[in-house]
């Protein structure tokens, strides 16, 4: 599927392009997980119907380790006159940071680094060694989940549970081919509800498998229950925890190269301030972090603003934009908890006009990049990952024209 064949050509788009002004800044959500990895959404259609209802016009799929959802994302976006961004997310490892005990954007695991790719080529162009590594990541992720499932079943047997969790059943009924811890937590919650019809019996069984601790969440809140299952049983310290193998993580440079070879832009997701106003070791010195990212060939960053205060977002996103980085915002939706599609800061605070401007212009650059790569032209970065920062305004104009060609029809 080529979503660009019915769009105007580059020269016509450029001739029509104007630089976006304040009234042109459409709402953007550039980071949304779907059921192709794990998501609060039951389907891509549900996610995009919510986007339409909330007047969010530019939307980015951003699943872990897979591009399997791209075709349905493209089709359903265009049906709704939404502009689709094609993104992905990986977990990499920087061994130097790990050896030095530096927490990057995983608050508990030094060296572990979440990394997104923005604006991948669609249809897919990745091949060769990068495709092999990409497929290995997906395979190892499922293999790790299978080991967790086996260990969970051992624990359930020792707890005299009247059921087991079938890995293939979970894969076939709760996923679209990629299984994660959260799928196993959901499967366990559903099994408990199936075998213990009475709520008191359910509560008693949770207390048993939680080793004497009562379930804190009301049973009518499935997202909260699944989070407790995951935290108590599947994460570090839990009876079904399985450490990830070295094969589960590629080096940061390798992941960046996979993203580049797939036509995308390596993008660093900032955690920024947590609920207690704390920052990771890597991110607490903003200027130093930005220089480190540039030295690692990363010219794009993103934020999930529901984690952050407006003041910190203004400081961090504003500084990154001023230093020439692409900046985008999203919501993730990679937990069972359903939240708005509209990007909001912590405590439901609306983004400022400046943040909306930065987010929209960043999305314009990504839109222009993915269009150019898909039409066999030079994107915002070259195949060595070097950005064309001198032409940033031109990419903003082109992306703005592209977005208008879809959303205004």
| Burial track 305-317 (b if 16+ CB lie within 10 A, e otherwise) | bbbbbbebbbebb
Give the three-state DSSP class for 292: helix
Phi, psi of 270 (to 5 degrees): -75, 135
H helices then E strands: how many in the chain? Answer: 14, 8
| Tens digit of each residue's pLDDT, the chain (409 residues) | 788 877 777 778 878 778 888 889 999 999 999 999 999 999 999 999 999 999 999 999 999 999 999 999 999 999 999 999 999 999 998 888 988 999 999 998 899 999 999 999 999 999 999 999 999 888 988 999 999 999 999 999 999 999 999 999 999 999 998 999 999 999 999 999 999 999 999 999 999 999 999 999 999 999 999 999 999 999 989 999 998 766 668 899 999 999 999 999 999 999 999 989 999 999 999 999 999 999 999 999 999 999 999 999 999 999 999 999 999 999 999 889 999 999 999 999 999 999 999 999 999 999 999 999 998 888 999 878 888 766 899 999 999 999 999 998 7
Burial class, 295, CB count within 10 angstroms (exposed 0-12 / middle 13-18 / buried 19+) = exposed
Q: Are 27 and 58 in contact (CB under 8 A)?
A: yes
Non-local (6+) Cβ contacts of 228 within 8 A are 206, 210, 215, 216, 217
Tally of CB atoms within 10 A around 326: 30
pTM of model > 0.75 = yes
Domains in the chain: boundaries: 26-125+262-407, 135-234
Q: How big is the chain by its Cα radius of gyration, in Å? A: 22
- What three-state secondary structure class fits 148? helix
- Closest to 119 measured CA to CA, from 349, 355, 302: 302
- Contact between 120 and 370 (Cβ < 8 Å): yes
Which CATH code of 3.40.50.360, 1.10.10.10, 3.40.50.920, 3.20.20.140 fits the domain covering 26-125+262-407? 3.20.20.140
The rounded distance, in Å, linking the Cα atoms of 41 and 330 is 15
Instruction: Count CA atoms closer than 13 A to 137's CA, side-chain side.
Output: 23
The predicted structure's pLDDT at residue 163: 97
Give pLDDT, residue 247: 62
Q: Contact, 394 vs 361, CB < 8 A?
A: no
């Amino acid at each position: 599927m080529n979503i660009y064949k019915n769009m105007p050509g580059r020269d016509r788009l450029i001739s029509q392009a104007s630089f976006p002004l304040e009234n042109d800044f459409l709402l953007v959500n550039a980071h949304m997980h779907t059921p192709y990895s794990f998501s609060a959404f039951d389907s891509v259609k549900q996610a995009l119907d919510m986007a339409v209802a909330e007047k969010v016009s530019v939307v980015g799929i951003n699943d872990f380790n897979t591009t399997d959802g791209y075709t349905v994302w493209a089709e359903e976006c265009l049906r709704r006159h939404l502009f689709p961004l094609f993104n992905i997310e990986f977990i990499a490892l920087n061994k130097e940071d790990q050896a030095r005990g530096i927490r990057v954007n995983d608050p508990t695991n030094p060296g572990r680094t979440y990394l997104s790719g923005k604006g991948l080529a669609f249809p897919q162009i990745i091949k060769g060694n990068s495709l092999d590594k990409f497929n290995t990541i997906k395979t190892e992720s499922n293999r790790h989940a299978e080991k967790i499932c086996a260990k969970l079943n051992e624990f359930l047997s020792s707890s005299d549970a009247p059921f087991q969790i079938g890995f293939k059943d979970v894969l076939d009924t709760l996923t679209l081919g990629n299984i994660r811890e959260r799928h196993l937590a959901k499967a366990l919650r559903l099994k408990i509800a199936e075998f213990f019809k009475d709520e008191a019996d359910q509560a008693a069984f949770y207390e048993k498998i939680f080793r004497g601790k009562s379930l804190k969440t009301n049973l009518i809140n499935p997202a909260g229950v699944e989070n407790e299952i995951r935290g108590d049983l599947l994460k570090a310290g839990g009876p079904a925890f399985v450490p990830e193998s070295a094969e589960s993580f590629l080096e940061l440079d390798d992941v960046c190269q996979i993203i580049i070879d797939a036509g995308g832009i390596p993008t660093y997701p900032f955690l920024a301030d947590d609920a207690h106003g704390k920052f990771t070791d890597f991110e607490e010195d903003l200027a130093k972090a930005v220089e480190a990212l540039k030295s690692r060939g990363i010219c794009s960053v993103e934020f999930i603003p529901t984690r952050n205060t407006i003041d910190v977002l203004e400081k961090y996103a504003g500084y990154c934009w001023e230093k020439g980085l692409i900046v985008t915002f999203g919501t993730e939706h990679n937990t069972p908890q359903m939240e708005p599609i509209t990007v909001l800061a912590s405590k439901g605070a609306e983004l400022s006009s400046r943040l909306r401007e930065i987010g929209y212009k960043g999305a314009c650059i990504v839109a222009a990049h993915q269009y150019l790569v898909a039409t066999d032209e030079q994107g915002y970065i070259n195949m060595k990952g070097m950005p064309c920062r001198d032409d940033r305004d031109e990419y903003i104009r082109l992306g703005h024209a592209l977005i208008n060609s879809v959303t205004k029809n």
